[in-house]
Amino acid sequence: MAHAIFIEEARKRSLNVDIYSAGILDFSDQPPLIETSRTCRHHNTPPLKETPTWVGELPLGSIDRFLVMEQDHADALRSEFGIPSDRISLLGTFDPQQRGVEIADPFGHSDLVYKNSYRLIRDCIIGYLDATNELD
């Protein structure tokens, strides 16, 4: 969801940026989650039709900023992939409503949880884009 939301918000701002989305666990042989696609469509955000990507498949050296949902994800990027701390941020730190720095994965929960997660992620991405000058 975060990937689809970020792409849509970047498009609205006419930002020319490369946006990647990947998990710290390899689920690349799995299809996208139906709940994620359904939630994106509910919010008029085009869902991605790609299969999940594992972070080890990304061009890690060329990525300026890693936005992660949970501290465990940041820790894994540092310890398993050698990403310096100054290139990693918890997405929740950009939440204008300050609902917490970690964003829980809605996997396995109800549509309502997915919709609430979508809104939180969108707010945080907008907060990031409003606060950062990294993309200028």
What mean pLDDT do residues 86-109 have?
Answer: 95
What mean pLDDT do residues 102-129 have?
Answer: 95
The residues near 64 (Cβ < 8 Å, ≥ 6 apart) are: 87, 134
State the Cα–Cα distance between residues 110 and 89, nearest whole angstrom.
27
Structural domains of the chain in order of their starting residue, each with its CATH number: 2-131 (3.40.50.2300)
What mean pLDDT do residues 77-91 have?
Answer: 97
The residues near 108 (Cβ < 8 Å, ≥ 6 apart) are: none
Is the predicted pLDDT of residue 20 greater than 70, yes or no? yes
How big is the chain by its Cα radius of gyration, in Å?
Answer: 14
**Which pLDDT score is estimated for 91?**
97
**Which pLDDT score is estimated for 52?**
80
- Amino acid letter, 57: E
State the Cα–Cα distance between residues 131 and 126, nearest whole angstrom.
8
**Which pLDDT score is estimated for 135?**
60
**Which pLDDT score is estimated for 49?**
72
Taking only the tens place, the pLDDT of each residue in 27-49 is 878 877 889 999 999 999 998 87
pTM: 0.90
State the Cα–Cα distance between residues 135 and 124, nearest whole angstrom.
16
Give me the chain's average pLDDT, please.
92
The set of long-range contacts for 19-25, using a CB threshold of 8 Å and a minimum separation of 24, is 20/53, 20/58, 20/63, 21/48, 21/53, 22/52, 22/53, 22/54, 22/55, 22/57, 22/58, 23/52, 23/53, 23/54, 23/55, 24/54, 24/55, 24/72, 24/73, 24/76, 24/77, 24/80, 25/54
Taking only the tens place, the pLDDT of each residue in 47-72 is 887 778 899 999 999 999 999 999 99
